[in-house]
Structure 1
């Protein structure tokens, strides 16, 4: 494959770990954003571009790292121009919009990659391997937890425009729960304090219970906490013959657990490209393009994660479990 030309739409905190990966892969980079693009261009040697459509016309791959409410629009514009697309999670704000993006990519014959980075974290990969190898017998219960300092950028706190604790933070573990245990048929969720007038409070905590088609129960906890609190993740899966677990707080060499800078807007832990799961996911997509194979995360995976997050919000509103569409659940098992 000749040198890739990659266009980064967006210049927030997540853009830097993507830019790190593209630079490490030797890609020629372009960047555009309403704010911050000049700094990305200077720091990473990318070419500054005035607007989105000009950028799309210059590149082979479009990498979308913008607020969630804009993901579908930018993806559809890139797909219409025949560009392959990497899109940060969530793929779209709704499952219908996510499906529209995936269908457009398929019709255009281009590749679409939803960037669910936790699938590329070694500890979670090891648990997936252990489950598939039968190391714990028949899987029964899964518990996930993810908590860190609340983001500082205002859009994260508007559920109607693609933000929210579940859609932004907990969607990581929603995706893991589906990856480990398959199709989800029922979703029950609570949040405290509640969202009022479309504003998510902080600190805030939510808990989701998923019932999978195979009978597995998943408990997913997420919290946005006070500035400066350490970012922490944990997972435990239990089966008929044992359990597998990981807690980032128990291994302080891991780059996935770091104290946030309370004065900054970026709550991502620092990491080098070679250590970064962000590098691993982008390298996988590039290899999938080169080899003509699926990447570890598919468009269908992106749709399913959004659908479960959407059902969680519906459950909170109803104060009751929500059944997931049977066709979606069936598709998740294929």
Structure 2
């Protein structure tokens, strides 16, 4: 059990998911959000010692570390505020909308001597952990071709998802998970090409599909397909990694799982993926960060990883906008 006081900022779906994980880990939690929903969230979980903070300043003064679960556009300023207060920070992905902002946040944390941890939860799903162990142990030889898919219903529970200037759309909000994971397997990409297609039916319901191709410095090529589908679309992920000595693949529809408590069961409200009963990845990632704070042990995901994920996602958005491949080495030179 963790002897930590966590300041949770936000009261939406991901905040509820993180809160459940912190409760499981035994942390004390204070919660705050600008819209006031934190009071209801705290009341709902008061039996576990969760309390509502009267202000952001009060939360930053009282807690040992900060967990940011707010819309993407607010991440940088909240990170900077927490870092200025000397607090370690875990922030839901992505760290920011733009790589310059993500880098500014990472640099500020480094100067202050505090940890900044991007919550890329896919790295903690058991099937992805198993893939990472196998590939790094040489199970497929030299990885050459990687293929990832990710499908869920369009995230319409908050209006900011519909505004690409706030969410980054499917490439940044959804597919960044797989961009980050591919990079963890085969290193930095040097070129990005992407396309996005969006449509809307007569009832105003949206769907969006994204594709992307990353060419990595190692010579490996990663392919990605993302879908935000119609209401009721089941959450599904797949991956295939082929190398000189073999092939590894996985399909989440073949995995028995349960749904975390923060998510309504089934129907049109599939918001976050089901997770395996024996290993809740949200608790695993927060435990990893807490151990980093308390022991100094390096975390699985670093601030630099978070910055690079944002950089890849922005290059993908630029490619989709212009119709051309984006050379990341050239982008680095212009920065």
Q: TM-score, normalised by structure 2?
A: 0.90
- Does residue 174 of the first structure (1) align with residue 175 of the second (2)? no
Structure 1 residue aligned with 2:193: 188
Distance between the aligned counterparts of 1:71 and 1:273, measured in 2?
31
Structure 1 residue aligned with 2:83: 79
- The answer on whether the counterparts of 2:95 and 2:102 sit within 8 Å (CA) in structure 1 is yes
- The answer on whether the counterparts of 1:260 and 1:267 sit within 8 Å (CA) in structure 2 is no
Alignment partner of 1:175: what SS? helix
Alignment partner of 1:41: what SS? helix
Structure 1: segments with no counterpart, 5+ residues: 330-334
Q: Please point out which of 133, 148, 152 is paired with 1:148.
A: 152
Distance between the aligned counterparts of 1:102 and 1:89, measured in 2?
13
Q: CA deviation at 1:36?
A: 2.1
Structure 2: segments with no counterpart, 5+ residues: none
Structure 2 residue aligned with 1:18: 18
Count of residues paired in the alignment: 323
Structure 2 residue aligned with 1:215: 219
Alignment partner of 1:280: what SS? helix
- The answer on whether the counterparts of 1:155 and 1:163 sit within 8 Å (CA) in structure 2 is no
Alignment partner of 1:86: what SS? strand
Aligned in 2, Cα 1:2/1:310: closer, same or farther, shift over 3 Å? Answer: closer
Distance between the aligned counterparts of 1:201 and 1:212, measured in 2?
36
Structure 2 residue aligned with 1:61: 65
- The answer on whether the counterparts of 1:259 and 1:269 sit within 8 Å (CA) in structure 2 is no
Q: TM-score, normalised by structure 1?
A: 0.91
Distance between the aligned counterparts of 2:154 and 2:223, measured in 1?
21
Q: CA deviation at 1:211?
A: 0.2
- Does residue 226 of the first structure (1) align with residue 226 of the second (2)? no
Alignment partner of 2:214: what SS? strand
Could you tell which deviates more after superposition, 222-231 or 318-327?
A: 318-327
Residue deviations 1:101-122 (CA, integer Å, cap 9, x gap): 0000000011110000000011
Distance between the aligned counterparts of 1:120 and 1:302, measured in 2?
15
Distance between the aligned counterparts of 2:106 and 2:134, measured in 1?
31
- The answer on whether the counterparts of 1:64 and 1:71 sit within 8 Å (CA) in structure 2 is yes
